């Protein structure tokens, strides 16, 4: 719908649109979003000091079938109209994601939109790893708490920062093993998720130290560059 605001502005609204209709636009095809999306754009003080505001709201935001809570993001364009400022997050009684930053419109020779945003996670499900390592890990438990900077062009996102993994466990089906992580730090760089120095346990309580981590090409083409050091540790438990 389109409404006039006191003859000085306009408001456009979208109500209850199925978010899954936008999945075909995603750069990363292993993520699938669903939920009912509502959005609004307000263009105020058109004839004196034009200001543009927007809001995106999803009451129950699902990622790959998992409910992450309420998505609520506000956007506004400053007077110079060169950037879009974002603020908001995904709120849930047990976990939170907060987002703040900027989107820079296509002002460069490569004709891409760039962004620069901070992302804070609080007790976020460690299970999000399964979305990127599909089929290679399962039954993931535990939480992530940390701060990251998400930047770069939309097609090549760069995630820098660190998080603490707590009370985590993960099963690696092709090895037939389950690993346990009590409390360890994880670092993220441009094309690597680094777990160097982390200590994991097997089902018998034996410990091993990790060096290296996951490699990726802007979250595509994931690979494993990992060294495991231990005097005694269960690394293979299959009957095939």
The secondary structure of the chain, three-state, reads CEEEECCCEEEEEEEEEEHHHHHHHCCCCCCCEECEEEEEEEEECCCCCCEEEEEEEECCCEECCEECCEEEEEEEECCCCCCEEEEEEEECCCCEEEEEEEEECCCCCCCCCEEEEEEEEEEEEHHHHHHHCCCCCEEEEEEEEEEEEEEEECCCCEEEEEEEEEEEEEEECCCCEEEEEEEEEEEEECCEEECCCCEEECCCCCEEEEEEEEECCCCCCCEEEEEEECCCCCCCCCCC
The pLDDT confidence band at residue 104, using thresholds 50, 70 and 90, is confident
pLDDT(112) > 80: no
The pLDDT confidence band at residue 187, using thresholds 50, 70 and 90, is very high
Tell me the per-residue pLDDT of 145-156, one tens digit each, with 9 for 90 and over. 999 999 998 888
Taking the whole predicted model, whether its pTM rises above 0.85 is answered as: no
Distance (Å, rounded) from C-alpha 73 to C-alpha 89?
A: 6
Distance (Å, rounded) from C-alpha 92 to C-alpha 98?
A: 11
The pLDDT confidence band at residue 108, using thresholds 50, 70 and 90, is low
**What is the reported pLDDT for 18?**
92
With a pLDDT cut of 90, the percent of the chain lying above it is: 54
The pLDDT confidence band at residue 207, using thresholds 50, 70 and 90, is very high
The pLDDT confidence band at residue 126, using thresholds 50, 70 and 90, is very high
**Residue appearing with tokens 């299959």:** 238
**What is the reported pLDDT for 239?**
74
**What is the reported pLDDT for 73?**
96
For the segment 173-200, the average pLDDT, to the nearest whole number, is: 93
Tell me the per-residue pLDDT of 211-239, one tens digit each, with 9 for 90 and over. 999 888 888 888 888 899 999 999 888 87
């Amino acid at each position: 719908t389109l409404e006039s605001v006191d003859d000085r502005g306009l408001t456009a609204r979208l109500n209850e649109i199925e978010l899954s209709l936008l999945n075909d636009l995603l750069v990363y095809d292993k993520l699938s979003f669903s939920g009912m999306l509502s959005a609004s754009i307000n263009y105020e003080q058109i004839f004196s000091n034009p200001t543009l505001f927007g809001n995106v709201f999803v009451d129950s935001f699902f990622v790959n079938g998992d409910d992450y809570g309420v998505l609520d993001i506000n956007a506004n364009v400053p007077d110079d109209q060169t950037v879009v400022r974002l603020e908001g997050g995904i709120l849930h009684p047990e976990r939170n994601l907060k987002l703040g930053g900027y989107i820079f419109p296509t002002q460069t020779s490569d004709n891409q939109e760039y962004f620069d945003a901070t992302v804070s996670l609080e007790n976020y499900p460690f299970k999000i790893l399964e979305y990127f390592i599909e089929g290679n890990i399962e039954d993931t438990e535990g939480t992530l708490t940390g701060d990251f900077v998400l930047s770069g062009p939309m097609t090549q996102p760069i995630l820098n920062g660190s998080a603490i993994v707590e009370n985590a466990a993960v099963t690696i089906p092709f090895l037939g093993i389950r690993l346990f992580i009590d409390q360890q730090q994880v670092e993220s760089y441009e094309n690597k998720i680094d777990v160097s120095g982390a200590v994991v346990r097997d089902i018998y309580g034996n410990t091993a130290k990790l060096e290296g981590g996951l490699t990726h090409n802007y979250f595509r083409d994931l690979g494993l560059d990992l060294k495991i050091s231990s005097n005694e540790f269960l690394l293979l438990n299959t009957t095939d």
